[in-house]
Amino acid sequence: MLPDLEGADATQILTWAFDHFGDRIALSTAFGPSGVVLLHLASEIRPGASAFFLDTGYHYPETLAMVDRTRQRLGSKIRLDVVSPDALALTTDQLGTSPLYAVDPDRCCGQRKVDPTRKVLRGLDAWITALRRDQGPSRAQTPVLEEKLSDGRTLLKVNPLATWTRKEIWRHIVAHDLPYNPLHDQGYASVGCWPCTQPSSEEGDERAGRWAGQDKSECGLHTQI
C-alpha cells in the first residue's frame, strides 16, 4: 500500500522514495528547469543518487552542454548516465525522402525515447521525474505517486515536483545558482529535440512549443510507461 504523499513537500517525497527503493530507483532528466531543481534536491538528500539523460541524437548543443555543466555544479553528489538509443533499434530514420520525425513523430519518439527508457527501467523498481501539473493540460492531473504496469510488472513513478509552479522552480534555480539551458532566455519555455521544438510563451501551456501545430503534446514517456 502506497503512502499518501499528496500534501508532502518535495524533500519528504524524495526521502521516502530513496529510503524505500535504495539503489533500485533513479531520476530521469532532460535538463529542463524542473529537472535541474530535482537533481539538486536529490543530490542534497541522497548524495550519489543515480540519474539518466536520454541523448536522442537530436538535442540542441545548449542542451548537451547541460550534462557537463550539471556535473560540474553537483559533482559526485549525482551519478549521471547518458543513455543513447541502441543503433540497431533505430529501424529507420527516414520514410521515403522524409525524416521520421516529420512523418511519424510517435515512432521516432518510440525509438529514441520510449524504448531506451524502458530498457533503463528494467533494472529499476521506480523512477523519479520532474513532471509538474502547471506545465500544461497534458500534465494537469499528475499524481505524486503513480503505479503502472510496465513489461509485466509494477513500476512506481515518483513526481516530487507535481505541485510546484513555474515561478517556484525559477526561484529555486536563482537562489541556488543552478545552471539552466540558455535557450530559456531566447523564448523557449520548454526545450526538447530541435526538429520538434519552437519558442513559445503561451500562458498556461509551457509545452506549447513542443510539436507545435501537431496533435501531439507528449513523447510517450509519461503516457506509455
- Which residues are marked as active site? 219
Site for ligand SF4, residues 114 to 133, rule: CB under 6 A: none
Share of the chain residues as helix, strand and coil, in percent rounded to the nearest 5: 40, 20, 40
Closest chain position to ligand SF4 (CB): 193
Cross-sheet strand order for the sheet of 25-29: 78-83, 49-54, 25-29, 126-128, 153-158, 145-150
- Cell for 120? 533503463
Question: Of all helices (H) and strands (E), which one includes residue 78?
Answer: strand 78-83
The distance of closest approach from Cβ of residue 182 to ligand SF4 in the complex, given in angstroms and rounded to an integer, is 20
Least distance between ligand SF4 and beta carbon 116 (Å): 10
Q: Which is nearer to ligand SF4, 105 or 179 (CB)?
A: 105
Residue 60 found at the interface with ligand SF4 (CB under 6 A): no
Question: How far is CA 96 from each of CA 15, 80, 100, 122, 160, rounded to the nearest angstrom?
Answer: 50, 37, 9, 34, 43
Q: In whole angstroms, how close is the CB of 55 to ligand SF4 at the nearest point? A: 11
Give yes or no for residue 39 binding ligand SF4 (CB under 6 A). no
SS3 string, 23-74, reads CCEEEEECCCHHHHHHHHHHHHHCCCEEEEEECCCCCCHHHHHHHHHHHHHH
Q: How many CA atoms lie within 13 A of 158 on its CB side?
A: 31
| By CB under 6 A, residue 30 contacts ligand SF4 | no
Name the residue nearer to ligand SF4 (CB basis): 109 or 225: 109
Q: Interface with ligand SF4 by CB under 6 A: which range of 7-15, 23-31, 42-50, 101-109?
A: 101-109
Q: Name which of 43 and 135 has its Cβ closer to ligand SF4.
A: 135
Query: Grid coordinates standing for 185?
Result: 532566455
According to the binding rule CB under 6 A, does residue 112 interact with ligand SF4?
yes
Q: Minimum CB separation from ligand SF4 for residue 81, in Å?
A: 19
**Cα 143 to chain center, whole Å?**
15
Restricting to residues 130-189, name those near ligand SF4 by CB under 6 A: none
Q: Which residues bind ligand SF4 (CB under 6 A)?
A: 56, 58, 101, 105, 108-109, 112-113, 192-193, 195-196, 219
